[in-house]
Structures are given as structure tokens and as C-alpha cells.
Amino acid sequence: MIMAVTAQVLRSEWTKIKSVRSTVWTLGTGVVVTVALGALISALAKNDYENLSPRDRFTFDPTFISFAGMGLGQLALIVFGVLVVANEYSTGMIRTSLAAVPQRGVFLFGKIAIATALALVVGMITSFLTFFVGQAMLGDRGAHLGDPGVLRAVVGGGLYMTLITMFSMGVAAMLRSPMLSLGVLMPFFFLISSILANVSATKKVGEYLPDKAGQKVMQVVLVDDDAPYGPWGGFAIMVLWVVAALVGGYAVLKKRDA
């Protein structure tokens, strides 16, 4: 019985996502912005390479440079995750959805599962495309997929985008409002996180925020020797943030009325 309901919920959530143009356009925008900005920064990095100091050349990370657009591109994934969960609250459709699927855990699982699968596909396509275009712009300064650590970084880029989406869905499930969710997530990722990570007094705290920790998996040349974790350690920290957000979202959905 539960399996049948779950299958119906998955089909329903897939229909909801593909029928709303804003979600499709949001994902498409994320791909274009990430690839285009990564290509631009890679081209600029190649032109500036001769002006770098010996230390900067030693720490030059062509793979991570090609992901320079990821910070802005993740904005689209954040918006997508918020819209998938919170849009039904703003339109009032959440009452209809919960009446049709009273098992709230199944309802939330179906929504998150479909959106996560879609984000994973888009994230992986974006990450590999960004890498290859970026390396083409870097020319002889670029890296190859078979180089040590590069494949891990590229796959990690796709996983990072997926986790950003999941984290956003968890926050949206807790706050139950698109505007409020975006009002919290945007400053958190684009202001607070950067400030904490770049101020000496709070740098240690900033290193454990989800985006800063998660981005470690995309680095091949690890220039920060003081970091308390490696690429997969940072990824694990981000996973813990995502789990906490999703558990919080489920707790709110279970206890509060629609």
C-alpha cells in the first residue's frame, strides 16, 4: 500500500515540476550562468598567468578556476529548491496536496526525491560541461579529466549542486514561504558565509558552513593547509547540514497545520 502511494506521489511531483515553467527556466539559467561565467574567468586566468608570482603559479588550480561560476550558478538551484517545496504554500495548494496524501512523510519524500534526482542530473551535466569548456579556455594551462584529483572534483561539483538544492528544500519546508526562504538563504550564502569565512576572528566558524565546506571537494590544489578537513571531509560536513535541514523540514511539516 505504501509503495503504491509512494509511486503515485512521485508521478504527481514529477508532473508538478515539469508543468511549472519557472522551475524549468530556473534550472536552465543555472546551467548557462555557471558555464558562461566559468569560461570567462578561465579565459581571464589564462591571459593573466604570466603575471602571477611563483607562489601563485604553484597553487594555480585550473579545475577549480573553471568552477568560478558555481557560486552564482548555485543561486538558480537555491531558487529551484525553494520553489519546489514552498510554492504550494504560497498558492494554497498545500491543503489539497496533503488531503490527497495524508502521509506527510511520504509526501515530503516524494517531493524531495524527484527534485533531487533532477538536480543531480542537471548538476552533473553542468559540472562536466563547465569543466570541459573552462579547460578549453585555459588551453595549455588547463587540466585533464584523468589527472589526479580532477575526476573527483568534477563529480564533486555535480554533487555539490545537488546538496545545495536539498538544503534549500529543507529550509523551505521549515519556513513554508518562498519569499521568507529566499530572504534567509540568499544573505546566508552570499553575504554571511563570505564574511565569516574571510574575517580572521570567525574564519574557523566559516569553514564549517555548508557552502564553504562543500566547495572543498571541487578543489584539486589544496592551498589552505590550515583547513581542518580534506575534500571528502568538507563534503561530509555539507551532508550533515543537508540532513539537519531535511529533518527540520519534516518535523515542521508533521507538527504544523497546512
Where helices occur in 49-144 by DSSP H, the ranges are 54-58, 62-66, 70-91, 93-100, 104-138
Query: Which pLDDT score, from 0 to 100, does residue 194 have?
Result: 84
pTM of the model: 0.92
Amino acid code (one letter) for 258:
A
What is the arithmetic mean of pLDDT over 218-229? 78
- Do 163 and 242 contact (CB within 8 A), yes or no? yes
Query: Which pLDDT score, from 0 to 100, does residue 56 have?
Result: 83
CA distances from residue 69 to 53, 108, 234 in whole angstroms, order as listed: 24, 31, 20
Please state, as a whole number, how many other Cβ atoms lie within 10 Å of the Cβ of residue 216.
Answer: 24
Digit-coded pLDDT (tens) for 75-103: 999 999 999 998 888 777 888 877 777 78
DSSP 176: -
Judged against a pLDDT cut of 80, whether residue 224 lies above it is answered with no
What is the arithmetic mean of pLDDT over 176-185? 94
Query: Which pLDDT score, from 0 to 100, does residue 225 have?
Result: 57
DSSP 217: G
Amino acid code (one letter) for 34:
T
Amino acid code (one letter) for 245:
A
Least confident of 15-19, 58-62, 127-131, 139-143: 15-19
Contacts of 2 (CB under 8 A, 6+ apart): 103, 106
Least confident of 26-35, 129-138, 194-203: 194-203
Query: Which pLDDT score, from 0 to 100, does residue 21 have?
Result: 76
Least confident of 88-97, 182-191, 207-216, 227-236: 88-97
Query: Which pLDDT score, from 0 to 100, does residue 258 have?
Result: 58
Query: Which pLDDT score, from 0 to 100, does residue 2 have?
Result: 63
CA distance 49 to 59: 12
What is the arithmetic mean of pLDDT over 129-158? 95
Query: Which pLDDT score, from 0 to 100, does residue 49 have?
Result: 87
Judged against a pLDDT cut of 90, whether residue 155 lies above it is answered with yes
